[in-house]
Amino acid sequence: MTTSPTLVEVEEAVPSGPLAPPTSGKRVVTTITRDKGALACLVFLAIVVLMAVAAPLITKLSGWGPYQFDSAAINSDLGGVPHGSLGGISGSHWFGVEPQNGRDLFARIVYGARVSITISLSATLLTGILGVVLGMLAGFYRGWVDQVISRLMDFLMAFPALIFMIAILSSLPSGNRPVLLVVVISVFGWPYLARVIRGQTMTLANREFVEAARASGAKDTQVVFREILPNLRGSIVVMTTLAIPGFIGTEAGLSFLGVGVSPPTASWGQMIASSVSWYSVDPMFFAIPGAFLFLTVLSLTVLGDKIRTLIDQGEAA
Amino acid sequence: MSDLFIVDDLTVTFPTSRGPVEVVKNLSFTVGRDDTLGIVGESGSGKSMTALAVLGLLPRGAQTSGSVRLDGTELLGKSERDLRAVRGNAISMVFQDPLSSLNPYYTVGLQISEMYQTHQGGSRRAAKQVAIEALERVGIPDPERRVDHYPHQFSGGQRQRVMIAMALCCSPSLLIADEPTTALDVTVQAQILELLAELQSTTGTGMIFITHDLAVISSIAQRVLVMREGDPVEYGTAEQVFSDPQHEYTRMLLDAVPRIDDEVPA
């Protein structure tokens, strides 16, 4: 062996900086709390979630339950238009009352938040699990597994989902509508996540660290859970946060069409649907649930977008 | 038999739409303890396929024939489970690009100790101690602190040192280095070669060094195998191959290396 000359240590000095992977959860949180727009969205969402969680407590405080009729608040001579201006907004009915039957709008908004949040979060969770598991299976094993899953995804994505949802939800017994809604939304929602996960798994599976892990004696399960899944974290977080507003909208849309949550359970979409015939005499009946729906979806979208930018930057760094 | 690692008549075949293609043809070589075999050849000559075949990591559909023996144990045809126990433990591998071979989401210490625990067992704390010692052995300064750093916090040369530390943490009897210095600049390259040679002399690990760089081979290998399009073209001691190449292709490769005393082409 030839002797190599003595070498001066030229490797660069130890890079300083916090001990953190490219995108840490902490960094996402600090950046969002510094951004005023994002912070406002976060605060609004916190209020909505708080409303949903503490609904019975809040309605006790406001004095009216969501199913209580207040015939004193409406003018039955005028066909049930609420007394007072702006849809009957007063000290006892903070957001006014429903025309015709006088149910408290505030209480129904609070309980409606419950429905929206529960359904959209459960649908996101179910979609997330289905999408990640099936996407990774297809991307990791390829071959016939991929063929079967991909064709199923193509089929579901090409399918007129809304029409099918309406058909299925109106034909099935309305025993447990919220569960049914979650299942139907997820069945049509997972391919969008799975398609992205499949593609990323395919590129990750060919990365050298996966090959290195195999060459070090790692099992398939170790490769999938220890090497590939953590690297998909960013995409999963972004895809699911951006999916929540979509699901809230879908739930509201289906309730609007009369196939969602069945009355008397309150839901924002259903409130908007019943306000349609009243919009000229009582615009607030439409404006209030509409505004809540709009702001919730907007906040979630803005936040999701923000998180995506942060994670993209982290991955590029 | 004193040879540690014997490859005999190894052939790797891939089925394609235009019939089977042999990417490695009738390859035979031996590696002794404390011995380094250099495999040289251009891109696509079957160098890396040989390494993958030895570890049973070929893509699905590939067929192998011949014999690969480590310490007298036949490796070809072993079950996936048995092979996993060999990979990283008795035979370990160092890859070309140290950045992409390390998982960006874990600290280097975790990656080394996980590999150690997979093969040798033991507590998490013991494995971390092994990781620190392994980093120290490959010349990473301040290993107690560096063990908790992520791959992106290391320089290129240091990352390759981390990869070597990982490959050697289970004291393998054979180390396969697949172009370990190609992604590094020349000074760092020399340091890594020096480190490999030094570690080899203390541990007695046999080494297969795959590269397309003849200068690197001449400084590290005792025996050289030249490959071209899957064919073993020439096989012999480094001295023999470099001073008296028998095959025209070897001569061509050697002539392609620019020399300081070459005439400048007009």
Number of neighbours of residue A67 by Cβ within 10 angstroms: 15
Q: Distance between CA B58 and CA B56 in Å, rounded?
A: 6
Token pair 């908790």 is at which residue? B148
Contact status of A19 with chain B (Cβ, < 8 Å): yes
Is pLDDT of A148 > 90? yes
Q: Between residues A69 and A156, which one has the greater pLDDT?
A: A156
Q: How confident is the model at residue A13 (pLDDT cuts 50, 70, 90)?
A: very low
Q: Are A256 and A273 in contact (CB under 8 A)?
A: yes
DSSP state of B207: E
pLDDT of residue A91: 67
Q: Is the peptide bond before A289 cis (omega within 30 degrees of 0)?
A: no
Residue A241 belongs to a domain: yes
DSSP string, B97-155: -HHHHS-TTS-HHHHHHHHHHHHH---HHHHHHHHHHHHHHTT-SSHHHHTT--GGGS-
Which of A1, A19, A207 comes nearest B100 by C-beta? A207
Q: Give the closest residue to B224 by CA, choosing from B20, B29, B19, B4.
A: B29
Q: How confident is the model at residue A127 (pLDDT cuts 50, 70, 90)?
A: very high
Ordered structural domains, chain B, with CATH? 3-98+174-256 (3.40.50.300)
Q: Distance between CA A305 and CA B78 in Å, rounded?
A: 50
What is the distance in angstroms between the Cα of B102 and the nearest Cα belonging to chain A?
5
Torsion angles phi and psi, residue A10, rounded to 5: -105, -5
Q: Give the closest residue to A235 by CA, choosing from A194, A268, A290.
A: A194
3-state secondary structure of B264: coil
Residue A308 belongs to a domain: yes
What is the distance in angstroms between the Cα of A140 and the nearest Cα belonging to chain B?
13
Residue A286 belongs to a domain: yes
Is pLDDT of A130 > 80? yes
Is pLDDT of A59 > 80? no
pLDDT of residue B70: 87
Q: Are A184 and A123 in contact (CB under 8 A)?
A: no
Provide the domain limits for residue A150: 55-316
Q: Suggest the residue from A210, A216, A227 to mutate for an interface test with chain B (most B CBs closer than 10 A).
A: A216
What is the distance in angstroms between the Cα of A15 and the nearest Cα belonging to chain B?
6
Asked whether the beta carbons of residue B187 and residue A12 sit closer than 8 angstroms, the reply is no
Q: Distance between CA B176 and CA B161 in Å, rounded?
A: 15
Asked whether the beta carbons of residue B194 and residue A17 sit closer than 8 angstroms, the reply is no
pLDDT digits (tens, 9 = 90+) for A283-311: 787 888 888 888 888 888 888 888 878 87
Paired tokens of A167: 């058909």
pLDDT of residue B266: 63
Q: Where residue A163 sits, what CATH number does that domain have?
A: 1.10.3720.10
Residue A149 belongs to a domain: yes
Q: Which residues sit opposite B35 in a β-bridge?
A: none
Residue A166 belongs to a domain: yes
pLDDT of residue A5: 46
pLDDT digits (tens, 9 = 90+) for A224-249: 888 888 888 888 888 888 888 888 88
DSSP state of B212: S
**Crossing angle of the two packed helices A283-316 and A229-256, in degrees rounded to 10:** 170
Q: Suggest the residue from B57, B82, B105 to mutate for an interface test with chain A (most A CBs closer than 10 A).
A: B105
Number of neighbours of residue A274 by Cβ within 10 angstroms: 18
Which of B105, B152, B188 comes nearest A231 by C-beta? B105
Element (H, E) at B38: strand B36-40
Q: Distance between CA A300 and CA A248 in Å, rounded?
A: 10
Query: A211: which chain B residues are within 8 Å (Cβ-Cβ)?
Result: 57, 95, 101
Asked whether the beta carbons of residue B115 and residue A217 sit closer than 8 angstroms, the reply is yes
Contact status of A27 with chain B (Cβ, < 8 Å): no
Number of neighbours of residue A20 by Cβ within 10 angstroms: 14
pLDDT of residue A150: 92
Strand ranges of the sheet holding B19-32, from the earlier edge strand across to the other edge: B19-32, B3-16, B63-70, B73-74
Average pLDDT, chain A: 79
Residue of A nearest to B217 (CA): A1
Asked whether the beta carbons of residue B88 and residue A12 sit closer than 8 angstroms, the reply is no
Q: Give the closest residue to A175 by CA, choosing from A247, A257, A262, A113.
A: A262
Token pair 């996540």 is at which residue? A193
pLDDT digits (tens, 9 = 90+) for A151-170: 999 998 888 888 888 888 88
Q: How confident is the model at residue A315 (pLDDT cuts 50, 70, 90)?
A: low
pLDDT of residue A134: 92
Residue A197 belongs to a domain: yes
Residue A33 belongs to a domain: no
**Number of structural domains chain A divides into:** 1
Residue-wise pLDDT tens for chain B (266 aa)?
Answer: 467 888 888 888 888 888 888 888 888 888 888 888 999 888 888 888 888 888 888 887 888 888 888 888 888 888 888 888 888 888 888 888 877 888 888 888 888 888 888 888 888 888 888 899 888 888 888 888 888 888 888 888 888 888 888 888 888 888 998 888 887 788 888 888 888 888 888 888 889 999 888 888 888 888 889 888 888 888 888 888 888 888 888 888 888 777 777 676 66
Query: B148: which chain A residues are within 8 Å (Cβ-Cβ)?
Result: 19
What is the distance in angstroms between the Cα of B249 and the nearest Cα belonging to chain A?
24
Q: Distance between CA A270 and CA A275 in Å, rounded?
A: 9
What is the distance in angstroms between the Cα of B15 and the nearest Cα belonging to chain A?
16
Q: Indicate if ipTM > 0.95.
A: no
Rg (CA), chain A: 26
3-state secondary structure of B251: helix
Residue A13 belongs to a domain: no
Intra-chain end-to-end CA distance of chain A, in Å: 41
Q: Distance between CA B218 and CA B39 in Å, rounded?
A: 11
Q: Are B218 and A2 in contact (CB under 8 A)?
A: yes
